[in-house]
């Protein structure tokens, strides 16, 4: 039932002539349902790249991702579609998380349409999502530019939750927010994890945030991952 990274390596610019830049090598760890794996490390060490690889948005140069025992590279179309919905990623900048030209309602209902949810059910689930994230219904009629960073980050999480994910890669989810809003988002993430048993890969610079959230902790430095607390 876990999401496993096995000997992942990423080399940029590796071609026929060689001479690429190695970002990280032989990185292995495991995400478990209802648990958080915290990933720390200096800037430019490839934390976000590793996050994108885990979320299936980028391919590793070597190594494999195993979702429920099957390797990602050998998955059939239906299996990959399941992986695509079950493993989600939440990005750093909440102001960039929604299409600026569309109302929030459109961006949310689009996800439910993707899941073939009927009309009445869509309204119920949207209301439920707003309740979970603690947002008023008025936000649906707004454009992203009319909402605050905290509200947008809650909505980004809410929209992901509509897909009923099993794992979420959180790429510095609070670094663009002020301290009071940071705390609210972290508590919301904790609450959602307790209720739905979602496994998180939390990428952050902030040691306090990582220690508050994580069950195990890894440091990505000099291209290697050291699991410092399990």
Partner 1 sequence: MMQEEAYVRESTIQESTIQGNTIRKNIIQENARQWKGFLAHNINLDIRRYERNLKRFNRGGLFLFTFFLILALLPVLFAPYSPTERFMPYEAPSTAHLLGTNDIGNDILSELVYGARISMMVGFASACISTLIGLMIGLFSGYFRGTLDELLMGFTDVVLIIPKIPLIIILGAFLRPSIWTLILVLGLLSWESIARVVRSKTLQIREAGYVKSARCMGFSSVHIMASDIFPNLFHVLLPKFMLATASAMISEASLSFLGLGDISMKSWGIMLSFAFSRGGFIRDMWWWYLPPGICITLCVMSIALIGFGFEGKEKENGKRGVDAE
Residues engaged in binding partner 1 (CB under 8 A): 55-57, 81, 84-85, 88-89, 91-93, 96-102, 107, 110-111, 114, 143, 145, 156, 159-160, 163
CB–CB of 72/8 below 8 Å?
no
Q: Whose Cβ is closer to partner 1: residue 96's or residue 121's?
A: 96
CB–CB of 72/57 below 8 Å?
no
Q: Report the C-alpha dihedral over residues 124, 125, 128, 130, rounded to 10 degrees.
A: -110
Q: Whose Cβ is closer to partner 1: residue 169's or residue 219's?
A: 169
Whole-number minimum distance, CB 95 to partner 1, in Å? 8
DSSP code of 20? Answer: P
71 three-class SS: strand
Whole-number minimum distance, CB 133 to partner 1, in Å? 16
Whole-number minimum distance, CB 219 to partner 1, in Å? 25
Instruction: Locate the DSSP E strands across 13-141.
Output: 21-31, 36-40, 62-67, 70-71, 87-90
CB–CB of 28/5 below 8 Å?
yes
Whole-number minimum distance, CB 47 to partner 1, in Å? 16
Around Cβ 226, how many Cβ atoms within 10 Å?
A: 11
Whole-number minimum distance, CB 53 to partner 1, in Å? 12
Q: Whose Cβ is closer to partner 1: residue 147's or residue 219's?
A: 147
Q: Whose Cβ is closer to partner 1: residue 110's or residue 121's?
A: 110
Q: Whose Cβ is closer to partner 1: residue 40's or residue 104's?
A: 104
């Amino acid at each position: 039932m876990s999401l496993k990274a096995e000997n992942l390596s990423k080399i940029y610019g590796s071609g026929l002539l060689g001479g690429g830049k190695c970002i990280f090598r032989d990185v292995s760890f495991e995400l478990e349902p209802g648990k958080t794996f915290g990933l720390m490390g200096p800037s430019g060490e490839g934390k976000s790249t590793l996050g994108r690889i885990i979320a299936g948005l980028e391919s590793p140069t070597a190594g494999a991702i195993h979702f429920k025992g099957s390797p990602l590279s050998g998955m059939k179309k239906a299996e990959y579609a399941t992986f695509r919905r079950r493993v989600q990623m939440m990005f750093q900048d909440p102001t960039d998380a929604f299409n600026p030209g569309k109302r929030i309602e459109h961006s949310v209902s689009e996800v439910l349409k993707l899941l073939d949810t009927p009309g009445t059910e869509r309204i119920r689930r949207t209301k439920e999502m707003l309740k979970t994230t603690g947002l008023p219904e008025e936000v649906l009629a707004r454009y992203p530019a009319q909402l605050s960073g905290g509200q947008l980050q809650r909505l980004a999480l809410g929209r992901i939750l509509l897909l009923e994910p099993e794992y979420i890669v959180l790429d510095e989810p609070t670094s663009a927010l002020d301290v009071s809003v940071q705390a609210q988002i972290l508590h919301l993430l904790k609450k959602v994890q307790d209720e739905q048993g979602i496994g998180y890969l939390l990428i952050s610079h902030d040691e306090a945030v990582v220690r508050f959230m994580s069950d195990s902790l890894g440091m990505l430095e000099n291209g290697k991952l050291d699991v410092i607390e399990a």
